[in-house]
Amino acid sequence: MGDALTRAVRLADQLVEALRVFWLWLPVPLSFFRGGQPSPLIVSMTSYPARIEKAWISIETLLRQSMAPSRLILFLAVEDFPDQKLPRMICRQQKRGLEVMWTSPDGRSFDKLLPAIKLFPDSPIVTVDDDKYFPRNLLAQLVEGSAQAPGAIVGARGWIIHLRASVPTYGDNWTRAKHGDTGPKLLMPGGNGCLYPPHSLHRAAHALDDALRICPTADDIWFWAAATKNESPMLCLGMPPHRPVDAQAKTESLAAKNKDANSEQFRAAIQHFAIDTDRIIG
């Protein structure tokens, strides 16, 4: 009975996934997307060859937001796509507002934010990943949070950092952040949707060589350290987890690579940015 129930649940989940993808694949009148309230936000993301075929799914959920961004940009490294050939679905989305910009050198996961800041230093930028179904009100909620806490970095989801030892350990006794949590103890992964106001990161954040050397697989740690060094306020919305795109979950993720490396990168970022850990101990 247990095996049968497990198979039934798995089949139902696969059906839900298929229906979601089919709905997003269906052509929708352009007027549908213009009904949303406009915003000054620039939404920035990146992808790589193993994920680019299915990246359109996450992009489509962003094209269908209740609050439209001023620009939706997919940054891709020339080194990853030397012929600059894109999947048909991505090309179709370019006709509906998606912008593709080519970067070099390859900044890996840092390309979801650093190139956008360089191009648009005075604009609010929202980062997202290419492997999630984003709720239709994500951007609207981020803007609402920003209005409640002007100048704050606003994240959809996050963790409360607890440092209880002389050697900082990533994830040790950390707790999930709730709606309305604030302060330097917040670490909010940018892939879930994170709004960065202009000039909210310390200038050292833009040194790509340092970022790739110190946090090669942990851009979220790097951006948290740069925000903490800058003493930027932070606010977490405590949103429920976004459903992952099943097809993207089969590819290698940074989370898998980081299982043993995050603590080392966390400590290295704290040292590099000379962060006073007394602010986040407890």
Task: Please tell me the pTM assigned to this model.
Answer: 0.88
Q: Is residue 275 part of a domain?
A: yes
Residue-number span of the structural domain to which 182 is assigned: 37-279
Residue-wise burial string across 148-172, b where 16 or more C-beta atoms lie within 10 A, e elsewhere: eeeebbbbbbbbbbbbeeeebbbee
In a domain, 4, yes or no: no
The per-residue pLDDT string of the chain (282 residues; one tens digit each, 9 = 90 and over) reads 577 666 655 666 566 666 666 567 666 655 444 445 678 999 999 999 999 999 999 999 999 999 999 999 999 999 999 999 999 999 999 999 999 999 999 999 999 999 999 999 999 999 999 999 999 999 999 999 999 999 999 999 999 998 876 678 899 889 999 999 999 899 999 999 999 999 999 999 999 999 999 999 999 999 999 999 999 999 999 999 999 998 887 666 545 555 568 999 999 999 999 998 887 765
Q: Report the domain count for the chain.
A: 1
Inter-CA distances, 133 with 39, 157, 205, 206, Å: 21, 14, 28, 29
Find the DSSP H helices in 64-190.
88-94, 114-119, 138-148
Domain assignment present for residue 209? The answer is yes
- Give the integer Cα–Cα distance in Å for 270 and 168: 9
CATH number for the domain including 158?
A: 3.90.550.10
